[in-house]
């Protein structure tokens, strides 16, 4: 029951972060010429596509919370071959686009906090995935958490 409540708290905090980025008005802390706006829009669209493709790959195992589904299985193919959390990567890509378009230092701070938040959320989820799926530790050892080209120490 504790995990279930914690899972929904993660969803609530994620919602606050994303809604904040949507409702905070833009400013002029940095220039947002049309090419920056276009790249940011492309990032937002790419993030949406990542979320869609990754969600479809999970099929009936997709859940709104970071708790593994009883209908799920350990997915290690498709986008999951390159990153452990492509849905989160999609959300973070959207955050990057929104912050770039905003020109707002408050949005930048929220964007940085989003990266910290998703790191914590992913670690919490990974502990549950490791309990549910015996092969998860091996998968995590060979697969970066969010961004495959930034194969930094994400474990």
- How crowded is the C-beta side of 138, counted as CA atoms within 13 Å? 6
Q: Does residue 155 form part of some domain? A: no
Q: Supply the pLDDT for residue 4.
A: 87
Q: Does residue 79 form part of some domain? A: yes
Q: Supply the pLDDT for residue 136.
A: 96
Q: Does residue 85 form part of some domain? A: yes
Q: Are 99 and 92 within 8 A, CB to CB?
A: no
Query: pTM of the prediction?
Result: 0.91
| CATH number for position 71 | 1.20.120.1630
Q: Does residue 26 form part of some domain? A: no
Q: Does residue 28 form part of some domain? A: no
Instruction: Please state the domain count of the chain.
Output: 1
Residue-by-residue pLDDT tens, the chain, 155 positions: 788 899 999 999 999 999 999 999 988 888 889 999 999 999 999 999 999 999 999 999 999 999 999 899 999 999 999 999 999 999 999 999 999 999 999 999 999 999 999 999 999 999 999 999 999 999 999 999 999 875 555 44
Q: Does residue 100 form part of some domain? A: yes
Residue 134's SS3 state is: coil
Domain hosting residue 104, numbered range: 2-21+33-150
Q: Are 76 and 139 within 8 A, CB to CB?
A: yes
Q: Does residue 109 form part of some domain? A: yes
């Amino acid at each position: 029951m504790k995990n279930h409540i914690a899972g929904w708290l993660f969803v609530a905090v994620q919602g606050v972060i994303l809604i904040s980025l949507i409702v905070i008005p833009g400013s002029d802390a940095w220039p947002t010429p049309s090419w920056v706006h276009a790249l940011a829009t492309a990032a937002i669209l790419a993030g949406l596509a990542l979320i869609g493709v990754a969600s479809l790959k999970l099929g009936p195992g997709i859940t709104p919370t970071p708790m593994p589904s009883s209908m799920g299985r350990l997915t290690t193919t498709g986008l999951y071959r390159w990153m452990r959390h492509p849905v989160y990567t999609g959300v973070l890509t959207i955050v990057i686009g929104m912050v770039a378009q905003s020109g707002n230092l408050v949005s930048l701070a929220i964007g940085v906090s989003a990266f910290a938040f998703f790191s914590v959320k992913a670690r919490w989820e990974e502990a549950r995935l490791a309990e549910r799926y015996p092969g998860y530790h091996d998968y995590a050892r060979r697969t970066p958490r969010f961004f495959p080209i930034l194969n930094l120490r994400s474990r």
